[in-house]
Structures are given as structure tokens and as C-alpha cells.
Amino acid sequence: MLEPFFARSAAAVARDLIGARLFVGAAGGIIVETEAYDRSDPASHSFRGPTRRNASMFGPGGHLYVYFTYGMHWCANVVCGEEGEGVGVLMRALEPVAGLELMRAARPKAKTDRDLCRGPARLAQAFGITGADDGDDLRRGRIRVLDDGMEPPRAPHTGPRIGISEAVHEPWRWHVAGSRYVSK
DNA sequence: TAAAAGATCCCCT
DNA sequence: GGGGATCTTTTAT
């Protein structure tokens, strides 16, 4: 049985992931920027249907979809919806709150703590997320999403996506207004 | 079998 | 603000 939190549209999950926490061992942070992707979005990996790469995106919600891009970067998504829907939320930025020394060690390029998790590939690097984690259960695995007991609360805001001409009104991109940890 | 683009980041100026 | 790095996946031939 799919958890209600994940059994919704990508836009709804993207909104409610703002303020939630992502933890990998002792390292963790508050999610401050997300972007939703579903099959109606030409920019989505699932737009043209299931392939070998995006298989986990078509799996059941509550799992991780990790992909490799630009020949060097990993990015992590929260899969949502029922199996076969091809819906997910890219985690674009985190405000680091725990285990910062672990993230600094994993990201020697980051000159300041602001750069530890600002951007999807930086975030993945800070937590050591790679293709080996693709498909993992976000409630039981190494990588966990904690969406209850948010302290302090972070209000989600949305706005038009940058660089997209179609369906700019869709609430696909969410962020914490004014956060210095938002990537854009 | 080839070609192009990519849910990006980093360093330079 | 701009370009290079670097290679997988997908789509076309």
C-alpha cells in the first residue's frame, strides 16, 4: 500500500516536500527547492515513456530515482504516484542542518556551507547519492525523507519555471521564498 | 553506428 | 556573464 503522502500528483508532493527533511545517516537538511516532473512535461525523462534509465521513475512512489547527466553529475528524485505513472520530484536544494562536516568532506569544492546542497548535483554529491541508490525505499533505506514534524516551518512558494515557454502556470517549481539556500 | 542533447557545475574574468 | 568539462541515453540513419 502506497503511503498517502507519495500517492499524489508531482506538483502536490513537490509543494509538501518544501520544509521536509532529507537524511543520509547523520547528515541531513531541510528541503528548500523542488521541481515536479510528470508525463505531460516535455522536459521530463518520463515524457516518452519507460526506458532502461528511467525505470525507477515508473516504479511505485516513495522510492528514489537517481540519474546521471552531463557526463559527471548525479541527481536525485522522489518518485510519486502509483507504479507505472512516471511521476517524480527533483530535489534541487537543501538547507544543511546536521552532519555538515560530513558534507564538507564529500564536497571539497564547496567554499562555503551555502554551496554544500545548493543545486541538484551538489546535493547528491554532499550526501554521496549515486546510481547505486537508484530505486531505494525512502522510508526504509539508507536515504530517508522525513515529512512530518517540520521545525521550523518553511512556507512553500511557487512561480513560473525559468526557460520554459509552455504551461508556465503549472505549479511545478517550488521554493522557500528568500532562502539563501535556493539555487536560483 | 553515429550524432546530438542533456532536470549541471566550476572556474575564469 | 560565459564557456569548458565529460559521457550516457536516446533517437535517427
- Residue A48, pLDDT score: 96
Round to whole Å and give the CA distance between A181 and A154.
12
| Single-letter amino acid, residue A2 | L
| Single-letter amino acid, residue A130 | T
In contact, A132 and A108? CB cutoff 8 Å: no
Which nucleotide is closest to the Cα of A52 by its C1'? Answer: C9
Is residue A2 pLDDT above 60, yes or no? Answer: yes
Mean pLDDT of chain A: 92
Q: How confident is the model at residue A163 (pLDDT cuts 50, 70, 90)?
A: very low
**Strand B contact residues in chain A (81-110), C-beta within 7 Å:** 88, 90, 107, 109-110
- Residue A158, pLDDT score: 87
Kindly give, in sequence order, each residue whose CB lies less than 8 Å from that of residue A150, ignoring residues fewer than 6 positions away.
A19, A20, A21, A30
Q: What is the pLDDT of residues A117-127, one digit of tens each?
A: 999 999 999 99
Interatomic distance A73 CA / C5 C1' (Å): 11
Q: Bridge-partner residues for A96, per DSSP?
A: A29
